[in-house]
Amino acid sequence: MPKTIVIVGAGAGVGLAIAERFGREGFKVGLIARNTSRLEEMADKLKELGIEAAAFTADVRDKSALAGAIEAAVDRFGGIDVLEYSPTATGDTLLTPREMTEENEQFHLELAVLGAITAVRNALPSLQKSDNAAILFTTAASAQYPVTFTASFGVAAGALLNYARVLNQEFAGNGIYAGIVSIAGLVVQRGEEGGRSPKGLELIAAQDIADLHWELYTRRDRVEAIIGDTGMLRQLTGL
């Protein structure tokens, strides 16, 4: 029987690449994000590739809307086998430690962690019925190597990393795998990878990130994986 992946915070980069990667393996795809027109465009692209897909609009910071979107996806596909969570903060929301405010950090926690908790809690009844369920997360390597120029995001990313870890501890013996991919670089499309951004960040293909998610899902031999060059982050943080 075909399985279903629901991608929360789906975007045209990593989210769509994960949808295509799992779709090639026979998965049906549910897409959740707040921009309806972009969601429909992504769903149409997947359908053109022969992948069954549907879009569900919700802001991950709106608990009731996100819960409703997940419920709608379960109704549409009959269940969820894999939940992937990957909303991305925009650059204008990233603050240094000196600039950080309670309001800004609340925003990042809602986006990265509290939304994830909402998504998992509402998908869990369906995941528990699957014979090969998984909960996957995508974040930046700021989770492992926090740097000052993305400090407000990094604090929340670190919390998400720990959430993924404890989820895996909790459910590993119950047939539900939890894993997280951290990106040490700038996401681009296939064919644009391999170089460096003006700030020195490695350019990483969204499709390679999607392949790593598939590897985690199928192998289930580790909780976390980092893709990209962490050397610059190690130098900046001393970790």
pLDDT of residue 198: 61
Q: Is the pLDDT of residue 92 over 70?
A: yes
pLDDT of residue 199: 64
pLDDT of residue 202: 81
pLDDT of residue 146: 86
| CATH at 31 | 3.40.50.720
pLDDT of residue 25: 97
Q: For residue 200, what are the domain limits?
A: 4-237
Q: Is the pLDDT of residue 209 over 80?
A: yes
Q: Is the pLDDT of residue 196 over 90?
A: no
Q: How many structural domains compose the chain?
A: 1
pLDDT of residue 189: 86
Lowest mean pLDDT among 82-86, 115-119, 197-201, 206-210: 197-201
Report d(CA 137, CA 139) in Å as an integer: 7
Report d(CA 23, CA 114) in Å as an integer: 27
Percent of the chain with pLDDT over 90: 79
* Model confidence pLDDT, tens digit, residues 1-56: 789 999 999 999 999 999 999 999 999 999 999 999 999 999 999 999 999 999 99
